[in-house]
Amino acid sequence: MVARSKGCALCVQRRVRCDQRQPGCAKCEAYGKPCPGYGPRFKFVAGKPYRSQRRLKSTSEQNGSSPDSLALVDSRTVLQLTGEPGSCSSIAPAAMNVTQCLDILIQEISKPFPVTSGHVTSRLFGSLPTVYGRNRTLDSTIRSFTAHHIGNMTSDKRAVQYARQVYIESLYRLRVSLNNPRECYSSEVFCAVMILCLYELFTNTHETDAWMKHAKGLSQLVELRGAARFQSDFDHVLLKASRGLIVMYSLFSGERCFLASNEWHTVMIQHPNTGLGADLARLVEQFFVFFTFAPSLVHQLYDLKDADHTQPDIVAKADELLARALAMQRKLLAWFAEFSAVTPVPVETRSSTGDARFPIVLYYSDESSASMFCGYYSYMVIIHEILRVCGYPGQHATTVVYFRDQICMSVEYNARGLLGPNRMGFPFKVAWEVADPATKAWIQVCLERLSNVYAAVHPQNLG
């Protein structure tokens, strides 16, 4: 710990020049927050306060390049990435790295779209600078995730190794936090669990079910917190960022999806994402209400796929599932008619890569609408597969192929950037389940490429 520079704590945190007015500065007053004052403050030099044992320094550490600090990302590299040399000249590298590298990560996560993207995962990372420093467990998860990606961007293996070390530390701290009754249900711990789950999704190619373990923990924490705890904007950003993982965990684990209840539906439609516009934000929330029922539909579908449909109990189950699927189909068709009226529909264009399997691809207005269209295509694949299995009249096999191909034609646009594979993870899984051998081979090639940055889409995870 080392003493900080002059100025009140909030101005230092916001990185603005403090006028040091007594008893409180005018900058805080203009910002709309109470001035915290000018008492002694400290800055964090990553790694050192958390050590319990002394150890001999290596030669590199004696020269000032400690492998236990985010300062191992060379400050010149950070300046090159930010493109703002003037803004960092007075900041020591060790103090600069968490905030500067987090800013770089936010820029990288948003690409190729604007930083102001309305996509909920982008909003989650955009909020991290405002919560960094609140909680040691959350801070360590933020440092781990940030160091991993900065290390990849700069080809710095030490940074990636440091990220893994801090990840292990984060797991220990999380265990302590979850055993603390005053801390376990806090927004900060919830955010830490979410980031740890994302860390596994991006990094772990060795354990196909690693993300499932974290998604299970995430699901359990959200359910235990209860709907009543989601009050603040930050809580709602966290819920919206995590619900896709919760639904997918339910889908693949066979467990019920607790979000499929009126209580949770009421919570989810609160605090809509204003960055999308009122109508689009409302339709996004409505779709997620429908999406929470997908796991139970899929579970019933797989129970019936290989069943003897001449048995009375199987016939009764098939009739029940058919009624549910037809009702959901009506809701989805009505939703899609309204959705396509408020957001531009995709246009067909030639593949920029000259893809032989899908030479014509879909181009969307933005990544949020692309994600919603792909979610709709995926749900319609599920619905028509149910109708086919239940023997309902119609060309369901042909319709399944159509929506499957719409998913594949969306890859070139919606799988771009660091979060692209995350957006396409569920649609890819659905498309794979109904693909012919040639399309499966094409999907596998795509996933092998995307898994270089997002481990959860590694082909071995398809089963």
Q: Quote the CA–CA distance of 272 and 40 in Å, as a whole number.
A: 40
pLDDT in the model for residue 275: 67
Q: Quote the CA–CA distance of 433 and 388 in Å, as a whole number.
A: 14
- 307: Cβ–Cβ under 8 A, 6 or more apart, which residues? 314, 317
Rg of the chain over all Cα atoms, to the nearest angstrom: 24
Interval 267-324: pLDDT, tens: 988 876 666 778 888 999 999 999 999 999 999 999 888 888 888 899 999 999 999 9
Interval 128-165: pLDDT, tens: 988 998 999 999 999 999 988 888 888 888 888 888 99
- Any idea which of 3-12, 58-67, 111-120, 358-367 has the lowest mean pLDDT? 58-67
pLDDT in the model for residue 85: 37
User: Could you give the dihedral angle defined by the CA atoms of residues 125, 130, 136 and 138, in that order, rounded to the nearest 10 degrees?
Assistant: -20
Q: What mean pLDDT comes out for the span 173-197?
A: 92
pLDDT in the model for residue 205: 64
Q: Quote the CA–CA distance of 385 and 378 in Å, as a whole number.
A: 11
- 19: Cβ–Cβ under 8 A, 6 or more apart, which residues? 25, 26, 27
Looking at residue 390, its amino acid is: C
Interval 413-461: pLDDT, tens: 999 988 888 889 899 989 999 999 999 999 999 988 888 777 777 777 6
- Any idea which of 70-74, 186-190, 192-196, 337-341 has the lowest mean pLDDT? 70-74
* Confidence class for position 344, pLDDT limits 50, 70, 90: very high
Q: What mean pLDDT comes out for the span 357-364?
A: 96
pLDDT in the model for residue 451: 81
Q: Quote the CA–CA distance of 346 and 110 in Å, as a whole number.
A: 21
Domains, the chain:
1-35 (4.10.240), 97-257 (no CATH), 272-462 (no CATH)
* Residues linked to residue 122 through DSSP beta bridges, in sequence order: none
CA angle 329, 379, 457 (to 5 degrees): 175
Mean pLDDT of the chain: 81
- 90: Cβ–Cβ under 8 A, 6 or more apart, which residues? none
What share of the chain in percent tops pLDDT 70?
A: 81
Interval 207-236: pLDDT, tens: 766 777 888 989 999 999 999 999 888 998
* Residues linked to residue 42 through DSSP beta bridges, in sequence order: 3
pLDDT in the model for residue 457: 75
Q: How far apart are the first and last CA of the chain?
A: 49
Distance of CA 152 to the CA centre of its chain: 18
Q: Quote the CA–CA distance of 437 and 372 in Å, as a whole number.
A: 27
Q: Which tokens go with 144?
A: 């781990």
Q: Which tokens go with 239?
A: 């819920």
* Confidence class for position 25, pLDDT limits 50, 70, 90: confident
Q: Smallest Cα–Cα separation from 149: which of 133, 168, 164?
A: 164
